[in-house]
Amino acid sequence: MKIAYYPGCATHGFAKDIDVATKKVAETLGIELVEIPDWNCCGGGFLDEYDEVTHVALNLRNLSQVEKMRMDKFATPCSVCLHSHRLAVNKYKEDRDIRERVNKKIEGTSIKYEGKATAEHIVWVLLRDVGLEKIKAHVKRPLTGLKVATYYGCQILRPEQIMGFEPAYNPHSLSDLVSATGATPVTFNEMINCCGFPLMGSNPNMGLKLAYNILNGAKKNGADLLVHTCSLCHLQFDPLHYRIKEEFKVEWTLPGIYILQLLALAFGYQPDEIGLSKLAIQVLMEKGII
Amino acid sequence: MSVQTYEVIFRIRRYSPEKGSYWQEYKLTVDRFTQFTEALRRIKTEQDPSLAYRASCHMAVCGSCGMKINGEPRLACKTLVSGIINKYGSNVITIEPMDYFPVIKDLIVDWEDFYTRMFKVKPRLYPAKEVLEGKGEHRLKPEDQRRLWKFAQCIWCGLCVSVCPVIREDPEFLGPAAHAKGYRFLTDPRDTITDERFKILSDSAWRCTYCYHCFSVCPRDIEPVTAIKKTRALTKYVKEPTNVTFNGVKHSEAIAGSIKTTGKIMESLVYLQTYGLSRSLKDLIFIAKAGRGGSLISSILEEKPVKNVSEIKKLFEG
């Protein structure tokens, strides 16, 4: 299976380990990820507040590139990139005023969007196009005994009317994938709430508090580690883990890793091949997984 | 012709100060057109008169019947029982009161906090003096009406507030419904208290975390988060920005600047511009401690700007 790939800025930056793990999982499952030529940033969840029309135009530029590749969708590992592109397409198709202003803006550029290409999350591709049975068949290192909190966050789910893959208030895609690895999924009340990343610019103390709420909820429900679906959630849970610990005087740790890092681990890759954090490695050793 | 019916078990989260919180089940046969308000009315009249819930108009106008149905915040009158059965493939359906609000009895919650927030944004038009004195009239252009229409549709149902994660943590945040209402008057050309409205709305707008709960649950498709984004876009008119507003603008401009000049978010640069050297260095210690120094270096060295960056600039400027 060949599919266009949109990594996004964070996946090529601070969250590079997500890029690495995504490519390993794709390779194992026989998916050829073809990076979109000369892709640009989706706006990172902020550009639409700064310039709504340019935001739509920039997202259409990426989708127009996908159409030039003669493909009808791209897969991204980042929920914010997913959300940004799907919202931009929705605005372009549904809002006449925006469409007219965008059309004027993209006149004379390389952007020719026919409305066919769409954005999908890599998790959706795994579940819909690959299937759980095939994923299970590739598990070489069952993660038996590991309790994994399934954190969805916001942008892969909501608004449900535009994201549409699963019920926003009763999601199960991560539980399905975690179960496929042999680990035990842990659901918790906060699993569909925000990690706080979008507040890290304007109100960072509150942003960290929201991240703490997620980790605390998962920990209280007995999780050993947490999986998520987003390159920006990754920045909250992984590099800033120690800041959260210090800020909220937390004794325990709860490593947050990307869902495809967990799959790659179950497929037999070594922790250093998929960029697992020190904290995650420590937990996996304690649980006798590695 | 036979009409399709469903045997349904409703598991309702009940509460009274005497009994506390408990689940109670009711069995009911409904047809495919039965709304949840109708199902609740039949349970109350046919089986259990002690069941308490609010409902009035049965047509998504009065905003009384917000509740959680299978965990989803919904208006009971705008939701068909058959729709939920088909969505979840089960005839067992849970009904609970909305989150966040204190429960008074069963599905009835206390609105005090919600109204306080709504009144804070002065949810009414403040027309010009001559209009009030009958010496003149306000005119609203069709394009202004079209722009404001969406945000004027709020029915004060509270569903967005019931799911907002920031409202629970940040007493300074007005909440999604109040922002939608506030924006509707902030940009109404007939209104006369714009400076005061900026003072009320601007700081709070930068406290939203863009989780899109409010967009997802609004039964009137108002998109309160969009109102918040549009309020933020007007920050340049704010006379005395607070720290939260100032930091938010700095971050937003750093991101837009990076995309405009490179086509991408150069994270290290945006980080430095947003937080300054001191905070960035402190975080560097946390990042190194988590064993993430490598990612940081690769993000600085490896990410390349878009080749056709002149096209990106043109999009910003065109």
Kindly state the average pLDDT of the residues B161-176.
97
Would the pLDDT of B76 be above 70?
A: yes
User: Does any CB of chain B come closer than 8 Å to the CB of residue A129?
Assistant: no
Chain B environment of A167 (Cβ under 8 Å): 72, 87-88
Q: What pLDDT sits at residue B274? A: 79
Domain extents in chain B = 5-108, 112-241, 253-317
Contact B247 A48 (CB under 8 A): no
Question: Cis peptide before A159, with omega less than 30 degrees from 0?
Answer: yes
For residue range A105-152, list pLDDT tens digits in order: 999 999 999 999 999 999 999 999 999 999 999 999 999 999 999 999
Contact A146, A96 (CB under 8 A): no
* Ranges of each domain in chain A: 2-122, 138-286
Contact A127, A78 (CB under 8 A): no
Q: Which of B145, B159, B172, B212 to mutate to test the interface with A (most CBs of A within 10 A)?
A: B212
Which positions in chain A touch B298 (Cβ < 8 Å)?
13, 16
Tokens for B245, please give them: 């507003």
CATH of A138-286, one of 3.40.50.11810, 3.40.1260.10, 3.40.50.920, 1.10.1370.40: 3.40.50.11810
Give how far A208 is from chain B: nearest CA, Å.
11
Average per-residue pLDDT for chain B: 93
Q: Please state the pTM of the whole predicted model.
A: 0.95
Per-residue pLDDT at B296 exceeds 70? no
Average confidence (pLDDT) over B38-49: 98
How many Å lie between the alpha carbon of A136 and the closest alpha carbon of chain B?
Answer: 25
Supply the CATH classification number for the domain B5-108. 3.10.20.30
Asked if A199 has any chain B CB less than 8 Å from its own CB, the reply is: yes
What pLDDT shows up at residue B279?
A: 75
Residue of A58, A159, A206 with shortest CB distance to B170? A206
Average of pLDDT values for A259-283?
Answer: 95
The mean per-residue pLDDT over the stretch B185-195 comes to 96
The pLDDT score that the predictor gives to residue B298 is: 66
Q: Nearest-CA distance from A49 to chain B in Å?
A: 5
Q: Which residues of A touch B148 (CB under 8 A)?
A: none
Q: How far is CA A82 from the centre of its chain?
A: 8
Query: Helix crossing, B267-289 with B293-301: angle to 10°?
Result: 160
Q: Tell me, what's the pLDDT at B289?
A: 74
Residue B120, pLDDT > 80, answer yes
Confidence (pLDDT) at B295: 65
Q: Give the tens place of pLDDT for each residue, A30-76.
A: 999 999 999 999 998 899 998 999 999 999 999 999 999 999 999 99
Output b/e per residue, B65-96; b: 16+ Cβ within 10 A: bbbbbbebbbbbbbbbbbebbeeeeeeebbbb
In Å, how far is B134's CA from the nearest CA of chain A? 35
Residue with tokens 């949810």: B123
How high is the pLDDT of residue B293?
66
Looking at domain A2-122, which of 3.30.70.890, 1.10.260.40, 1.10.3210.10, 1.20.1050.140 is its CATH number?
1.20.1050.140
Q: What mean pLDDT is predicted for residues B130-135?
A: 95
> What is the CATH T-level fold of the domain B112-241, as seen in this structure?
Fumarate Reductase Iron-sulfur Protein; Chain B, domain 2 (1.10.1060)
What distance in Å separates the CA atoms of residue A253 and residue A145, rounded to the nearest whole number?
18
Secondary structure of residue A253 in the 3-state scheme: coil
Mean pLDDT of chain A: 96
Give me A46's structure tokens. Answer: 């902020």
CB contact under 8 Å between B316 and A51, yes or no, is: yes
Is residue A255 within 8 angstroms of chain B, CB to CB? no
Residue B73 and residue A169: Cβ atoms within 8 Å? yes
* The pLDDT of residue B78: 98
Model confidence band, residue A194 (pLDDT cutoffs 50, 70, 90): very high
Instruction: Check if A48 contacts B (Cβ < 8 Å).
Output: yes
Residue A286 has pLDDT above 90, yes or no: yes
Q: What is the pLDDT of residue A95?
A: 93
Sequence letter at residue A150: T
Pick from A35, A39, A57: which is nearest to A109 by CA?
A: A57
Contacts of A27 (CB under 8 A, 6+ apart): none
Q: Do B250 and A106 touch (CB under 8 A)?
A: no
pLDDT score for A198: 95
Helical H segments across A153-229, by residue range:
160-163, 173-180, 204-220
Residue B287 has pLDDT above 80, yes or no: no
Sort residue A43 into left (φ over 0), alpha (ψ -120 to 50) or beta: left
pLDDT of residue B270: 80
Query: Average of pLDDT values for B72-79?
Result: 98
Indicate the angle between helix axes B243-262 and B194-205, nearest 10 degrees.
Answer: 70
d(CA B53, CA B66) in angstroms, rounded, equals 10
